[in-house]
Amino acid sequence: MSVKAKLHYFNGRGRMETIRWLLAVAGVEFEEYFFETREELIKLQQSGVLLFQQVPLVEIDGMNMVQTRAILNYIAAKHNLYGKHLKERALIDMYVEATMDLNDLVMCHPMQPPEGREKNLALIVDKATNRYFPAYEKVILKDHGQDYLVGNQFSRADVQVPETILMMEEMKPDILAKFPLLQGFKARISNNPTIKKFLQPGSQRKSEIEEKMIPQVMKIF
């Protein structure tokens, strides 16, 4: 019987959410340990398991892994979600790095002062619809002509792009109105059995952070 991965983070999305998605798609069972106070985070830092004193922390395969991209790279490589050769891996890296740039903007949005959120949302929507989504729509999906973003098989790019699209739709439901290929891609990938299961209520996927939770999260970090 394989040992479950152990995830250490606060009870919310943040930088751990993409890791949750990728583990779920890879079929890796995991359990989570949430800290609710800064003292709990400091205790973890003092335990010596955090190489750079930062979370997320994932205990997996006998390792205490930190740094989000390193964790994602390891999971993707181990579970055949990282392309068939070096060139495909380079493309996957380009696509997910761009997605994570947009993801960072989305992740930080709830932490903005209330009076600045409307302007910040407009900035995020502008970057999504004028920089990132057109690239996926025209350059990747249209020119590539396959069901997947890279090559002819499912990869971590096909996980991380829909994750970000779904978060953007929470902020602006019609965000994909001008991107029919992305609409089709999202619908197709959402029907992948492991992703479909992860999107169901009761899964380990986290909801959008509630307003009342923001002060608590800010105190932790």
User: Residue 211: what pLDDT?
Assistant: 65
pLDDT tens digits for 99-113? 999 999 988 888 788
- Residues 195 and 127: their CA atoms lie apart, in Å, by 26
The alpha-carbon radius of gyration of the chain (Å, integer) is 18
User: Residue 218: what pLDDT?
Assistant: 72
pLDDT tens digits for 154-195? 999 999 999 999 999 999 999 999 999 999 999 999 999 999
- Residues 164 and 176: their CA atoms lie apart, in Å, by 12
List the domains of the chain with CATH numbers.
Answer: 5-79+199-220 (3.40.30.10), 86-191 (1.20.1050.10)
Which residue, among 163, 174, 183, has the nearest Cα to 72 in the 3D structure?
A: 163
pLDDT tens digits for 71-110? 999 999 999 999 999 999 999 999 999 999 999 998 888 8
Q: Kindly tell me the sign of the dihedral angle through the C-alpha atoms of 21, 26, 31, 37.
A: negative
The predicted model scores a pTM of: 0.91
Peptide bond into 215 cis (omega under 30): no
